[in-house]
Structure 1
Amino acid sequence: MLLAGETYSSIDIHKFVRYLILRANGKPTPLEDFIIVDVNDQTEYTKEHIITAEHYNRFMLSRNHFETPLLSSARLAKRTLVIYGQSAAMVTTVLHERGYKAVHLSGSIPLYKTFYPKGLTTKSGSDFDIAVLTEALQRKIDSDRGSRLWRSTSSSRLRSVDSKSRLSVNKAKAPWKY
C-alpha cells in the first residue's frame, strides 16, 4: 500500500503528447526515458493501441516474485513506465509500491482518439506523426484559450486587480477614511 503522502503521478493525454513531441525533437522530458505500457486485454491491445506501446498482462501482478522482461528491463535501465488502459490506476499503484517508476496515463483509446484521431494509435500508422500531433495539440490549446471559462477567469482577475488599485489610490488620498 502507498503510505500517506506517497503518490504516483498521473498525466492526461495532452501532457503526454507534449512529452512525445519533446522526445521526438531530442529535448528532455520530465519523464526522462519512458516506456508506454498498455494493460488492456490482449484482444483490445491487438485491435488498437498507442504506437510503440508494449502489452503487459495485468493479471501477472498477482505473482509477487515474478518479473516479466518488460519490467526487468525498465527497472535495470531506470525507465519510467507510462501505464494506460483498463485498471491502469491499480497497476500503477502496485508497480509504484514495488519500486518501479510508474506514471498513470488517464483516459482510454476512444478518448485519446477524440483529440488525436491521427498520428497516435496503431490504426493511423506505425510511427508517431509528430507534425499531426503538434497541430492537434495546438488546436486544443487554442480552443482552451478561447473558451468562456478562460475569458471569464482572466477578466475577473483583471477586474479584481483594477478594483484593488482604485482602493489603494483612494486610501492614499484620504488616509483618515477607511
Structure 2
Amino acid sequence: MKKYILAIDQGTTSTRAILINHKGEVAFKAQRAIDCIYPKPGWVEENADKIWISVIDVINELLVVASSSMDEVESIGITNQRETTIVFEKETGKAVFNAIVWQSKQTQSLCLEREDKSEFIQKKTGLRMNPYFSASKIRYILDQIPDGQERARKGELLFGTIDTWLIYKMTNGKTHATDITNASRT
C-alpha cells in the first residue's frame, strides 16, 4: 500500500525532503546544506553532482527513519531554485559544467552584447534580457565547454532547471521535462 507523498525542495542553500502521510501530515523531514561556489565577485555556481547527492541523501534518510521504501511512495513533488541552470549529457545525465545559480551575474556581458535584441526577446518571451533568466546561462555554459555549441546542435546535450535535471536522473534518462512555472523563466 502506498503510504506517502515525497516532497523535495532543492533550494539554493539546502536540499529538503518531507514524507507526507495519507492524512496530509508531515511524517518525516530531512535536510542537507549545499555549498555555493563563487569563482568571481557576483558569480554564483553549484556543483551539480553535489546537488544530486544531497537529493539522494535526504530521500534515503527519510526512507530509513520511516522504515519504508520507494514502493510506499505514491508520488513525488519537486520545488526548486527555478532559474538555476544545468547543461548535461543526454547519454549519461552528467552535468558538463557547474550549475549556474539564479542570482549569478556571470552572463551579464552576454546580455549586454544582445541589448539590440532586448525588445524582440521581451515581446517573444515576456522576459527582459537579464542574467537572472536561464537563456544566457545556457549560452555561457555551451561557450565554456569544448565543442559545446556543436554538441548541443547534435542533440548530445540537454539543458534544464534543477527540476528537469532531477527528473531526468530519477527516471534514468527517460523523461526530459519541466513544469510551466520553471519553463516560463527560461
- Tell me the TM-score range normalised by the shorter chain: under 0.3
Higher relative contact order (CA 8 A, sep 6+): 1
- Structure number with higher strand proportion: 2
- Structure number with higher helix proportion: 1
**TM-score, normalised by the number of residues in structure 2:** 0.23
Q: State the structure with more CA Rg.
A: 1
**TM-score, normalised by the number of residues in structure 1:** 0.24
